[in-house]
Amino acid sequence: MTARVLFVVPTYNRARDLPRTLGAIAAQDWPSDCISILVVDNASTDDTPAVLADLARHLPCAIEHLRKAPEGPTVARNIGLKRGQDRLVALVDSDVELDPGWTRAAVAAMAADPALAMVGSKLVFGHDPTLLNSYGGAMGFLGLSWDRGEGDAAATATAPRDVLWANSSALLVRPQPALAVGGFDESFFMTSEEPDLGLRLAIAGWRARVVPGAVARHHVDIAIGPMHGEMIFHITKNRIRMALKVWALPRLVAFVALYGGFSLVDVVLRAPRVPRLRALWWNVVHLGETWHLRRATQALRRVADRDVAALLDRAWFPPNRLRGLRRRPVRGSIAAEGVDDRITTGPRQ
């Protein structure tokens, strides 16, 4: 029986990109009656409704437009996981273009291994498809996470690989296990939501894998400027909350000691300091809520920390440092002024 797949596309003000993204979904080498698309619109102010109405008239698969408050992609993805509990759910960002064989490759990998909760992509850059954007996610000893292989030659990604997490720009998910461990943490307005979910799935006994046949192009802006302070706040906040929820006590104590020292040095030596201090304070204020989530997470534990940690990278820091930029530069990137292109004013959580 051919698997039915719900494609969930979170979006905000990407009316110009939606025809490419949804057109590529509709053009999958997969029966159109087994494909449906849910576009979760975070209150776009551009022509998104009109563009989607036109696409719904012309594309061969069902398209639903769900408009909601601007709460970020984690909420949108959880909506999709809940809607698609009777199917597989493909998470596809609105600046991503799937190759025609993406669904077939991702579903085949999922069907071949019932312990897989997530199948990730060979994600390449739209401006230069010979370069990897991501082939699975990595995480170091300090909880810093990054896209594995970013900037490497795409031709190097030739074999399936088990990973701790995979980039949700193009990701096939079994919704039941993902929801059983709590889904995406909706306090993560941006960044780190995939490694957080990957860690919780891993300790519950599920696995993630990237496969070379599931190719997707990520059409990110090649102009890279400085990171917005709000993004620094979310990166720091989420990294701490993730560790507090997931690691068992011995590893958690080690993390607190190591990351506490790193954070102190980071605040002293690097501006801006206020977002980092806000992130630390946020975690103090929300410690009770986080500890409740921790108890729920630990109750699902089936795998020891040492076995989950085997999927960590043997590194303290990413091989290619951000150095204050909003994204790691690769061949073809250009310097730009201005703040991060994903956020200008963030919610004061």
In this predicted structure, which of 170-179, 262-271, 274-283 has the lowest mean pLDDT? Answer: 262-271
Is residue 338's pLDDT more than 70?
no
Confirm if 303 and 202 have CB atoms less than 8 A apart: yes
pLDDT at 342 over 60: no
Query: CA angle 163-260-286, nearest 5°?
Result: 80
For residue 68, pLDDT beyond 70: yes
Q: What is the token pair recorded at 71?
A: 């709460």
3-state secondary structure of 95: coil
The mean predicted confidence, pLDDT, of the chain is 92
Q: What is the pLDDT of residue 142?
A: 83
**Which are the contacts of 53, defined by CB distance < 8 A and separation ≥ 6?**
65
End-to-end CA distance of the chain: 45
pLDDT-derived band of residue 319, with 50, 70 and 90 as boundaries? confident
| Top-ranked range on mean pLDDT: pick from 175-189, 270-284, 330-344 | 175-189
Residue 256 has pLDDT above 80, yes or no: yes
pLDDT of residue 346: 40
Residue 327 token pair: 């994204």
Q: Is the pLDDT of residue 158 over 90?
A: yes
Both tokens assigned to 324: 């204050």
> Which pLDDT does position 204 carry in this prediction?
97
Predicted confidence (pLDDT) per residue in 193-206, tens digit: 999 999 999 999 99
pLDDT of residue 340: 53
Question: Taking CA 48 as the corner, what is the angle to CA 47 and CA 49, rounded to the nearest 5 degrees?
Answer: 95
pLDDT number for residue 198: 97
Tell me what pLDDT residue 107 has. 98
Mean pLDDT of 49-58: 96
**pTM, full prediction:** 0.93
Cα distances from 315 to residues 312, 324, 335, in angstroms, run 8, 20, 28
**Mean pLDDT of the 104-124 span:** 98
Average pLDDT for 210-215: 98
